[in-house]
A and B are shown apart, each in its own frame.
Chain A
Amino acid sequence: MVHHGEHGKKRHGKGQKHKRLDMIEEGGKVKILNIYTSGKLMQKLLDMGFIIGSEIIVVREAPLRDPMELKIHNYNISLRKSEAALIEVEEV
């Protein structure tokens, strides 16, 4: 269990490796651990290469902070944060 101190309301403890994709900052490199969705969105994510184990680089956020631009399988794609929040990743 991760300890959330008073100091970091939003930040996660150092020991925690699992994060949501939308929390990763620009330049971050992560690996997909799990995708918590189903149906149409799941199919679409799979088709675009969001497969467990795939590597993602967070390229940037849009000027209005949403959506985000990612590099996956060596191409660039944009994804809204609401969807990115369904993808569990670990930093590599």
Chain B
Amino acid sequence: MSDIKVALSGQPNCGKSTIFNMVSGIDQHIANYPGVTVDKKTGHFKYADHKIEMVDLPGTYSFSSYSLEERVAKEFIIDESPDVIVDVVDASNIKRNLYLTFQLLEIGIPVVVVLNMMDVAERRGIDIDSAKISEMLGCKVIEASGAKGIGGEEIMKAIVDTAKAKKNYEDFKIHYEELEPHIKAIEDKISDTSLSLNKRWMAIKVLEGDVTILSHLEKEFPDIKDAADHEINKFHSLYDKDTVAFLATFRYDSADIIYHKAIVEKNAGKETLTDKADKIVLNRWLALPILFAIMFLVYQLSIVGGYKLTDYTWPLLAAVKNFVLDISPAPYLTDVPMITDFALWMINSANALMNYIPIFFILFALIAIMEDIGYMPRMAFILDRLFRKFGLHGQSTLPLVLGGAFVGGCAVPGVMATKGIADDRARMATILTVPYMNCLAKVPFYTLLLGAFFVSSMSLMMLYISTVTIFTALIASKILTSTFLNTRETAPFLMELPPYHAPTFKGVILSATQRVWVYIYKVLTIVLAVAVVLFAMLQFPGINKDTKIQYDKELEKALVVFDKKVKKSKYHGQVDTKDEIADLLNYYDSYRAKRMATTSKGGAASIDEKYKTKNADFFNFIKPRKDKEAKKVNRALRKLAKSRNRILRNMKNEKVENSLLGMAGKSVEPLTKYAGFDWKINVAFLSSFAARESAVATLGSLYENNQADSQRAEEAMAQNSGYTPLHAVAIIIFMLLTPPCIATMIVVKMQTNSYRWMFFAIFFPVFLGVAISSLVFILGSKYDWGGVEAMSYFYFSVVAIALALGFYPSKKKNWTGGLRADINK
């Protein structure tokens, strides 16, 4: 009985996470996209009395520590010194994978090689003599097929056996010929180090200029760098060879030897299925149409289809809301307890976000399918040229798509998907531009404004709105990468195009569920936390006493009217006290809410039944049927309910206007007036920072008409706001450029690992938004532009600027090179 610590290592996309899931039984995100796992994940399981702790390290092509993944992987090996390294090898791509195997063997920790994807190798006619490989490498070699669940037992057994035999483990050694004396020299120098790592390995790493190892050794040997440079230069002058290239070549040659001794490729040179498929998918003329067709399909299925689904899920959310309202203390006429108000506010904020879950689930499932199949790197391949011109990267495609580039999405998963981008500058630029994409939650806001001011040209405006975002993102990225991000490191674009895999149902569902869960968990918790703050900012200081008396008087009047009307009814006795009336009003409101949440006939009948048993007398008033006397009460009741709602709304508006948030909105009015925004719009924007949906809710309630209750928010806004279509355009432009919501900010903080960039991500768009919408508004007022006209000018200017910037070259940083003049022609 002992604990065994295992590191799972291997090249990107070789199936480490699949193997990890198979043996540990923990579900990890799997995708056919190099570089999906960047953080390490730990799983615990038991095998034959041994407690095994397994860590799924990020995939690395090598152990040279130039990339983040390699640093994470290497630091784990150094700091945690695992007992066994499991090296997962893609059996269908064995030569390149063995290159890493040799580097792992040198570390001096026992290795178990897992030949994964044996099914693929078989299909391709690759015969592998694993016994021979095992003999040549001096370690256990297990054949497995993670996706098919084959080999888990053998892997666990090999881990335990290898760990037990650890003491007998003989160090693996490649004899590096002419480099040996130099390795020896460094080894001697560090012979009395306190680090428990293998000295020969450290010496080799030192000669490779490995930053991680050098910095560890520098603590004990301050001149280690000079010693290394000395040996490297000596080697260079003796043999005219570069140590780094020499070592790499040596390892590839060693891999080649194994390849020739242990592997027979029966179909070598034959076209694989992937080759055939790529002839179409990556065809010069078909690639872009196929890409757009796929995007369109994703849009149709997720956004359009998902929206239809929300018709079915909305009643569920409404039921939750009604339940919460049922258990909250009931209002007494116009006295709504704050706790009830608060519960309603919270549940509304949550529901607005939860409503998108069907859309997200479909969207994420489709993206998981594309990832699993292996389309994502191909998409990057197709679009890299375009994105690179703007400082982005082929791999920015996925984050932008998730964020809503083509179809509407959410910046939260978009920003989180930037992890895999190798190029630091492009990654930062992607993180900062994803929030410009069309967030799904902005849609209701646009719909409100378009419905109010652009009824006749709605589709043109919507087209502008949904396509302008990608151009603004490109401009923003270009500006950022040539200014603030100018000094960031870039990385060469060397991206593997892995063979196509059939997606597994389990994998797709798992990945979609995980991403939706992240959305629910991260977004909801944060948004709700902010909702609390906003609620407080909207509640205080509240209405002053004098006006409250005013409202009470209004209510009295309404009650007198009610009383006069019901006096003629024989039921007068049941509704002649304030308490009775308050109960009746609540009964009426809650009945209406429940009825609104059901669509089916059966559901309606059962609600009726429930309310009848709850209070048969009251039920008679709200559904009087042929009872003339009850009808009188019914009419009076409806009038009273209307009056009460009007009073409540007025109170609320006054509360908002006097609230802290209202004051904030007013205090920035001098600044935003150039863009035509008054304090109400400002308040809407401020509250939309918590969650986009709040903007619509806030505006809706601020502009609701006092008399006509049935008026829709659009009409109310058009009539009561005093805005022109030009105002609306300025508002739309600001919303297009507006800073990401709180939840996005949190993930920006997570991904950039800096508050500075988080604040930058907030204030840069605000500045841009205020500046550009002011410009459009001022020019528009001066030249008397109509709304559509102003929007068209804005749209085409943005497109033109984006195109112009595309021709301005971007520089690559931090890596050098250049070809000899005679062939550089």
Q: What residues make up the interface of A, taking CB atoms closer than 8 Å to B? A: 4, 16, 18-20, 35-49, 51-52, 54, 59-67, 69, 73-80, 82-83, 85-86, 88
Contacts and interface: CB of A to CB of B under 8 A. Distances in A.
Contact of A74 (B93, B248, B252, B288): B93
A75 B382 contact: no
A32 to B, nearest CB: 11
Interface stretch (B319-327, B487-495, B679-687): B487-495
A80 B816 contact: no
B66 A43 contact: yes
Contacts of B66: 40, 43-44
B381 A78 contact: yes
10 contacts: A20-B823, A38-B816, A40-B814, A42-B244, A44-B494, A59-B278, A62-B382, A69-B278, A74-B268, A77-B496
Contact of B285 (A37, A60, A63): A63
Interface of B: 61-62, 64, 66, 93, 95-96, 99, 242, 244-245, 248-249, 252, 265, 268, 274, 278, 282-285, 287-288, 377, 381-386, 388, 394, 491-498, 812, 814-820, 823-825
Given A46-B244, A67-B381, A86 B817 contact: yes
Contact of B99 (A49, A65, A76, A85): A49
A75 B93 CA distance: 7
Given A20-B823, A36-B819, A88-B823, A49 B384 contact: no
Contacts of B248: 43, 46-47, 51
Given A40-B66, A43-B62, A63-B287, A48 B93 contact: no
Contact of B492 (A44, A60, A76): A44
Contacts of B274: 76
Contact of B818 (A36, A40, A78): A36
A83 B66 CA distance: 17
A64 B386 contact: yes
Given A36-B817, A76-B274, A86-B817, 4 more contacts: A20-B824, A43-B64, A51-B245, A69-B278
A37 B816 contact: yes
Given A47-B62, A66-B385, A75-B496, A86 B818 contact: yes
A80 B354 CA distance: 42
A75 to B, nearest CB: 5
Contacts of B495: 77-78
Contact of A62 (B381, B496, B824): B381
Given A60-B282, A62-B381, A63-B285, A47 B497 contact: no
A82 B492 CA distance: 9
B374 to A, nearest CB: 11
A67 B497 contact: no
Given A19-B823, A41-B817, A69-B282, A80 B492 contact: yes
Contacts of B820: 36, 88
B244 A77 contact: no
Given A39-B815, A86-B818, A62 B385 contact: yes
A47 B385 contact: no
Contact of B95 (A19, A74, A76, A77): A74
A79 to B, nearest CB: 6
Central interface residue in B285, B493, B498, by most chain A CB within 10 Å: B493
Contacts of A18: 823
A21 to B, nearest CB: 10
Given A36-B819, A37-B815, A69 B61 contact: no
Nearest to B492: A41
A59 to B, nearest CB: 8
Contact of B384 (A19, A47, A66): A66
B382 to A, nearest CB: 6
Contacts of A48: 61, 96, 494, 496
B249 A52 contact: yes
A82 B812 contact: yes
Given A38-B817, A40-B814, A80 B384 contact: yes
A66 B282 CA distance: 12
B540 to A, nearest CB: 55
A45 B287 CA distance: 27
A37 B285 CA distance: 34
Contacts of B814: 39-40
Contacts of A75: 93, 96, 496
Nearest to B288: A63
A10 B248 CA distance: 34
Closest 7 CB pairs of A and B: A37-B817, A46-B248, A47-B62, A64-B385, A76-B497, A41-B815, A63-B287
B504 to A, nearest CB: 22
A50 B462 CA distance: 49
B241 to A, nearest CB: 10
B176 to A, nearest CB: 15
Contacts of A88: 819-820, 823
B95 A61 contact: no
Given A63-B288, A75-B93, A46 B497 contact: no
Contacts of A37: 815-818
Given A63-B284, A63-B382, A65-B385, A40 B249 contact: no
A36 B821 CA distance: 11
A42 B95 contact: no
B682 to A, nearest CB: 43
Contacts of A54: 252
B501 to A, nearest CB: 14
B539 to A, nearest CB: 55
Contacts of A82: 812
A25 to B, nearest CB: 13
Nearest to A47: B62
B381 A45 contact: no
A67 B815 contact: no
A78 B422 CA distance: 14
Given A47-B248, A62-B382, A66-B385, A20 B494 contact: no
Contacts of A60: 278, 282, 284
Contacts of A64: 382-383, 385-386
Contact of B816 (A4, A39, A44): A39
A79 B817 contact: no
B384 A67 contact: yes
B815 A40 contact: yes
B96 A73 contact: yes
A40 B61 CA distance: 14
A76 B742 CA distance: 41
A43 to B, nearest CB: 5
A80 B283 CA distance: 17
A33 to B, nearest CB: 10
B394 to A, nearest CB: 8
Given A20-B823, A88-B820, A46 B496 contact: no
A86 B447 CA distance: 52
A42 B384 contact: no
Nearest to B489: A40
Of the listed residues B66, B265, B288, B819, the one surrounded by the most CB atoms of chain A closer than 10 A to its CB is: B819
Nearest to B823: A18
Contacts of B265: 74
A75 B432 CA distance: 34
B807 to A, nearest CB: 14
Q: Which of A44, A69, A88 has the most CB of B within 10 A?
A: A44
A17 to B, nearest CB: 10
Given A46-B245, A73-B96, A74-B95, A79 B818 contact: no
A49 B96 contact: yes
Which one of A63, A75, A77 has the highest number of Cβ atoms from chain B below 10 Å of its Cβ?
A63
A39 B245 CA distance: 11
A47 B102 CA distance: 12
Contacts of A16: 823
B64 A47 contact: yes
Contacts of A19: 823
Nearest to A82: B812
Contacts of A40: 66, 491-492, 814-815
Contacts of A63: 282-285, 287-288, 382
